């Protein structure tokens, strides 16, 4: 603008700029208005199909999944010395793929450092290794949970005794209902056996870890535990 002294002030309206057929008080040329409208309509159309499509892709991140209580067997199946492996449905609707294994025993004061409460009359330990998620198995001879992938090992309480895992094995809430032992939702533990909302393998939750790896909207521990 300063380069052209005759046109130093920008025109406020089309009438001022001398455009033929200008309306009173019109500030945008009709060509400019039509261009803007066409581009705007295109942007609205693209947004109208892109946003809902993205939404159905991202929605599962915000949907809460409730793990229903499911029966594992009568209390006589379990003792407080060693673990019994039981199969349960971790994900419904996908047949064999959704099945998983849980190791269960009775609460034992000599083994368990945590306080007894309504959800741990039976200790149900998840087989998901807390290094990267391979399935651990309990070896009765050495009293260790051992992971086949990278050599993670856990003691009888599920605490890390060797290898790369970052926290104790996850557990499930348990209760006895209608004469059957049932397991409910999964929860995670830090190294002091405090309960946390379930985290994925590889995420330490001691100290800052619980904030660096926050709980997700999809799974929560039971309130008040």
Partner 1 sequence: MPKLKLPLPPGLKPPPERPSENGHGEDRSALKQAGVSAVDWIDERTALSGGARWLMFRKIPRGTNWFYTLGSATLFAFLSQTITGVFLAMYYDPNATRAYESIRHLTNEVFLGEFVRGMHKWGSTVMVILIFLHMGRTFFFGAYKYPREMNWVIGVALLILTLFMSFTGYLLPFDQRSYWATIVGVAINGTGPLVGPYLSDFMRAGPEFGATTLPRFYSIHMLLLPGLIVSLIAAHLYLVARQGTTAPPWLRADKDPDLRRDET
Closer to partner 1 by Cβ: residue 17 or 134: 134
Cβ neighbourhood burial of 66 (10 Å; 0-12, 13-18, 19+): exposed
Containing 214, the helix (H) or strand (E) segment is none
Closer to partner 1 by Cβ: residue 149 or 180: 149
Q: Does 194 bind partner 1 (CB under 8 A)?
A: no
Q: Does 214 bind partner 1 (CB under 8 A)?
A: yes
Sign of CA pseudo-dihedral 153, 158, 161, 164:
positive
Q: Does 95 bind partner 1 (CB under 8 A)?
A: yes
Q: To the nearest whole angstrom, how small is the minimum distance from the Cβ of residue 6 to partner 1?
A: 40
Output the CA torsion 127→129→135→140 (10° steps): -60
Closer to partner 1 by Cβ: residue 141 or 208: 208
Contacts of 163 (CB under 8 A, 6+ apart): 131, 147, 150, 151, 152, 153
* C-beta separation of 186 from 67 below 8 A: yes
Q: Does 152 bind partner 1 (CB under 8 A)?
A: no
**Residue count at the site for partner 1 (CB under 8 A)?**
31
Q: Does 65 bind partner 1 (CB under 8 A)?
A: yes
Q: To the nearest whole angstrom, how small is the minimum distance from the Cβ of residue 57 to partner 1?
A: 8
Alpha helices in the chain (DSSP H): 30-58, 209-212
How crowded is the C-beta side of 1, counted as CA atoms within 13 Å?
5
Phi, psi angle pair for 80, to nearest 5°: -100, 10
Closer to partner 1 by Cβ: residue 14 or 102: 102
Q: Does 49 bind partner 1 (CB under 8 A)?
A: no
Q: Which stretch binds partner 1 (CB under 8 A): 23-31, 47-55, 115-123, 213-221?
A: 213-221
Q: Does 149 bind partner 1 (CB under 8 A)?
A: yes
Q: Which stretch binds partner 1 (CB under 8 A): 16-24, 80-88, 113-121, 216-224?
A: 216-224
Q: Does 133 bind partner 1 (CB under 8 A)?
A: yes
First to last CA, the chain: 69
Q: Does 178 bind partner 1 (CB under 8 A)?
A: no
Interface residues toward partner 1, by CB under 8 A: 57-58, 60-61, 63, 65, 90-91, 93-98, 132-135, 149, 198-203, 212-214, 216, 218-219
């Amino acid at each position: 603008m300063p380069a052209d002294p005759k046109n130093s002030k920008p025109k406020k309206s089309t009438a001022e700029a001398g455009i033929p057929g200008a309306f009173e008080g019109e500030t945008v040329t009709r060509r400019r208005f039509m261009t803007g409208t066409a581009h705007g309509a295109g942007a609205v159309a693209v947004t109208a199909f892109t946003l809902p499509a993205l939404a159905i892709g991202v929605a599962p991140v915000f949907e809460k999944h409730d793990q229903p209580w499911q029966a594992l067997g009568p209390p006589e199946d379990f003792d407080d010395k060693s673990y019994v492996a039981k199969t349960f449905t971790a994900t419904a609707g996908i047949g064999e793929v959704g099945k998983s294994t849980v190791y269960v025993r009775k609460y034992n004061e000599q083994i368990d450092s945590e306080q007894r409460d309504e959800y741990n009359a039976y200790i149900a330990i998840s087989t998901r290794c807390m290094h990267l998620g391979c399935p651990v198995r309990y070896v009765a001879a050495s009293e260790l949970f051992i992971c086949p992938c990278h050599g993670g090992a856990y003691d009888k309480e599920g605490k890390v005794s060797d290898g790369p895992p970052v926290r104790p094995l996850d557990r499930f809430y348990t209760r006895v209902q209608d004469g059957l032992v049932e397991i409910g939702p999964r929860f995670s533990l830090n190294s002091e056996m405090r309960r946390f909302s379930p985290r994925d393998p590889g995420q330490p939750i001691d100290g800052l870890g619980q904030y660096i790896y926050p709980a997700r909207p999809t799974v929560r521990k039971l309130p008040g535990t």
